Amino acid sequence: MRITLALLIALAAVTAVAADDAPAIEDNSFLIEEAYNQDPRVVQHIFTYVRARDGSWSASFTQEWPMGGQKHQISYSLPIDRHGISDSEINYRYQLVGNDSSHVACAPRLSLVLPANGDKRGVDVMVPVSVIVTPRFYTHYNLDLTHTDDTRTTAGFSAIYAVQPKVHAMLETLAQWERSTMTVTISPGVRWAYDFKSGLQIVPGIAMPITVHPTHERSVLLYLSFEHPY
Q: What is the pLDDT of residues 147-197, one digit of tens each?
A: 887 789 999 999 999 998 899 999 999 999 988 899 999 999 999 999 999
**How far is residue 199's CA from residue 203's CA, in Å, rounded to a whole number?**
13
Interatomic CA distance for residues 163 and 171, integer angstroms: 13
Whole-number pLDDT of residue 155: 97
DSSP string, 58-93: EEEEEEEEEESEEEEEEEEEEEEETTEE--EEEEEE
Segment 122-138, tens digit of pLDDT: 999 999 999 999 989 99
Q: Per the structure, how many domains does the chain have?
A: 1
42 vs 7 pLDDT, higher one:
42
Three-state SS at 4: helix
Say yes or no to pLDDT of 19 above 50: no
Q: What mean pLDDT do residues 64-80 have?
A: 95
CA distance 214 to 75: 32
Q: What is the pLDDT of residues 23-52, one digit of tens each?
A: 478 888 999 999 999 999 999 999 999 999
pTM score: 0.88
Region of poorest pLDDT, from 11-20, 86-95, 158-167, 216-225? 11-20
| Alpha carbon of residue 182 to chain centroid | 21
pLDDT at 25: 85
Instruction: Identify the pLDDT of residue 21.
Output: 47
**Is the CB of residue 10 less than 8 Å from the CB of residue 189?**
no
Which of 206, 165, 203 is closest to 24 using CA atoms? Answer: 165
Distances from the Cα of 227 to the Cα of 74, 124, 138, angstroms? 15, 25, 21
Average pLDDT over residues 1-20: 50
With a cut of 60, say whether residue 9 has pLDDT above it: no
Under the banding of pLDDT at 50, 70 and 90, the label for residue 101 is confident
Cis peptide before 115 (omega within 30 of 0): no
Range of the domain at 219: 2-229
Please give the pLDDT value at position 5: 52
Choice among 68-72, 123-127, 218-222, 224-228 with the minimum mean pLDDT: 68-72
* Mean pLDDT, the chain, integer: 89
* Confidence at residue 20, expressed as pLDDT on a 0 to 100 scale: 47
CATH number of the domain that residue 82 is part of: 2.40.160.40
Question: What was the pLDDT predicted at 18?
Answer: 40
